[in-house]
Amino acid sequence: MQTQDRSTASNCPIIRETLQNAITASQNHLLSIQYPDGYWWAVLESNVTITAEVVLLHKIWGTDKTRPLHKVETYLRNEQREHGGWELYYGDGGELSTSVEAYMALRLLGVPASDPALLKAKEFILERGGISKTRIFTKFHLALIGCYDWQGIPSIPPAIMLLPDNFPVTIYEMSSWARGSTVPLLIVFDKKPIYLTEPGINLDELYAEGVENVRYELPKSGDWADLFVGLDKGFKFAEVSNLMPLREAGLKAAEKWVLERQEATGDWGGIIPAMLNSLLALRALHYDPCDPIVDRGLQAVDRFAVETEEIYWIQPCVSPVWDTALVMRALVESGMEPNRPELVRAGEWLLDKQILDYGDWAVKNKKGKPGAWAFEFDNRFYPDVDDSAVVVMALDAVTLPDEELKRSAIARTLKWILSMQCKEGGWAAFDLDNNQDWLNAIPYGDLKAMIDPNTADVTARVLEMSGRCDLSLGSFALRRALAYLIKEQEQDGSWFGRWGVNYIYGTSGAISALALIATESHISNIERGAAWLLSCQNSDGGWGETCQSYNDPSLKGQGDSTASQTAWALAGLMAAVEASTTVAGSTLTPETLSAIERGIEYLIATQRSDGTWDESYFTGTGFPCHFYLKYHLYQQHFPLTALGRYQKLMSNPPNCPS
């Protein structure tokens, strides 16, 4: 799907009134959904496994009767596709592990195996190899209720909790999300509990080879990672023989770690996997359901729920800080006065959310001082670089009553971000030099998300922050960051997108950064990136990219057009246009302006009468190839940002006759 060839740029045919009407409608919608405290917050959607695992959690704790779990049945039935399975992301054709967990949840909710929907799901699951071919975490959840044997689940020595910080391998070499999930799993994997549920179920019908023929063992991959499979056999022998060294001390340390990291609101890490695993650990340790720690934890899970008259489901996370900062940027960039009361309330809310406590990041970062932001309402242990950089840009764009307070907050954040620069020159999301890739080979790391290395998109965000807010990173840090970002550019001109789908996201961010801070020195990199974006414009004028591009890079930049991905591509192209007009010898092609115009036309044409856009596709990334997200505000604020930047660009149109 290529952009149509046009030999000359049009004479700016988009009527200014039409453009302004689209901007105003979008602004009015966003203002109408602002919360009274000043923040914006919309639903964050993933696949159905999160909800299925919450059903299992409540069945295990016996708290299922106090939640409207009967509505989950309707939700899961609605999400089942015609082929019988459930999807990892919209339109993927169905995914095995996701489907097994949805099937499990429906059985736990009392749906019989003879139900037509489950018969159809069973056929889908068996055709793909059944339970034995699912991921480790699916098997783990099944083992909790006796539907899979613990022998096929990896063992993790609890003694790893006792390793000193300066040891070559500790839990802090895992990504923050892997760490928050793994520490409680040390307890659960050690205890190997099997819980009786009401109703009691088995899933024998989902073993393609027949349940009597199942081999409960870790799969081998045929490479050096099989070393871990051999080690696992040794660990299991030590468990059975009661020879596991420092077992009790390790379990006590894991329990202490889990308890210390619970927020006052009950959350752990602000993400459902860490919250569920922590509650499972407490259950394995025989905590009482009425214990305040457990009660707070269960209530925290409840706050992630979305309930209507008919359905009930659970979000994987909540994103108010991220949503608020991005909406603020969109409103200002689309022409709203920076001292407007709604923006002032939002800015003051963000200032109040700055984290001034030390978190897990400080274990490897001994020099940094607190001053960052997290993604969620409450998450003091895990602020992140990406959110912090976006918040800085949002605050810089607005005018607050106490500008000195704002500047102090920004200064603290800049120092913290600089202290988080990795050895390779870039920035990761949550930790410093969290890059030991071999951890992805351990048996239970089959999501390949055990580490948090520096990435092009987060690095670009920091560089964009520096340029847009006139904040100096220092020449040494800047040179290293630029070198890293350029090294990450692919041969075709694109950049990989770790946190958004995918190359469109990464390329847009990199161009936007380079155009602000390295225009002349890196104009060729900017132009190559822009050329790649031009090459994948769809015939309808928009851009889209399938999540499958993470599995198959030949699909990069290919997919049905979406509002959010079109807005990303436009942001990158408009940044390239502005950069090109300031560099001697750089020529702006008419085709570029024509492509931008067609992209804007696509956004205007697909905007609904209430000022909103709609898209079904998932354009956010949790773990590439394994877990994707749909931010329900992405399709609103990113298009508004693009429209606002286009309006500014056309106020002095390059190569466009006046």
Give me the active site residues, please: 386
Q: Are strands 312-314 and 305-307 parallel, antiparallel or unpaired?
A: antiparallel
- What residues have CB less than 8 Å from 622, skipping those under 6 apart? 46, 316, 449, 628, 629
CB pairs under 8 A, 24+ apart, for 609-616?
A: 609/25, 610/25, 610/29, 611/22, 611/24, 611/25, 611/26, 611/27, 611/28, 611/29, 612/26, 612/29, 612/636, 613/563, 613/639, 614/563, 615/562, 615/563, 615/564, 616/90, 616/91
Please choose, from the candidates 257, 295, 311, 242, the residue with its C-alpha nearest in 3D space to the C-alpha of residue 77.
311
Rounded to an integer, what distance in angstroms lies between the CA atom of residue 102 and that of residue 111?
Answer: 11
Give, in order, the Cα–Cα distances in Å from 570 to each of 12, 381, 457, 533, 590: 16, 35, 16, 9, 15
Please choose, from the candidates 220, 197, 230, the residue with its C-alpha nearest in 3D space to the C-alpha of residue 63.
197
**3-class DSSP state for residue 622?**
strand
C-beta of residue 164 within 8 angstroms of C-beta of residue 170 = yes
Q: Are strands 312-314 and 620-623 parallel, antiparallel or unpaired?
A: unpaired
- What residues have CB less than 8 Å from 502, skipping those under 6 apart? 496, 545, 547, 549, 550, 556, 621, 624
Report CA dihedral (329, 331, 335, 341) to the nearest 10 degrees.
Answer: -110
State which H helix or E strand residue 396 sits in: helix 385-397
Rounded to an integer, what distance in angstroms lies between the CA atom of residue 156 and that of residue 564?
Answer: 41
Rounded to an integer, what distance in angstroms lies between the CA atom of residue 505 and that of residue 507?
Answer: 6
Report CA dihedral (86, 92, 93, 95) to the nearest 10 degrees.
Answer: -50
**Other beta carbons within 10 Å of 79:** 16
What is the rounded end-to-end Cα distance, in angstroms, of the chain?
32
- Per DSSP, the residues of 416-434 read HHHHT--TTSSB-SSSSSB
610, two tokens? 């209430």
Q: Which amino acid is at 545?
A: E
529-553 as b/e: b if 16+ CB within 10 A: bbbbbbebbbebbbbbbbbbbbeee
Rounded to an integer, what distance in angstroms lies between the CA atom of residue 394 and that of residue 637?
Answer: 13
Please choose, from the candidates 548, 544, 543, 568, the residue with its C-alpha nearest in 3D space to the C-alpha of residue 634.
568
Rounded to an integer, what distance in angstroms lies between the CA atom of residue 84 and that of residue 93?
Answer: 10
CA quadruple 404, 406, 411, 412: dihedral positive or negative?
positive
C-beta of residue 481 within 8 angstroms of C-beta of residue 463 = yes
190, two tokens? 């050690």
Rounded to an integer, what distance in angstroms lies between the CA atom of residue 490 and that of residue 528?
Answer: 10
CA quadruple 466, 472, 478, 481: dihedral positive or negative?
negative
Rounded to an integer, what distance in angstroms lies between the CA atom of residue 306 and that of residue 312?
Answer: 6
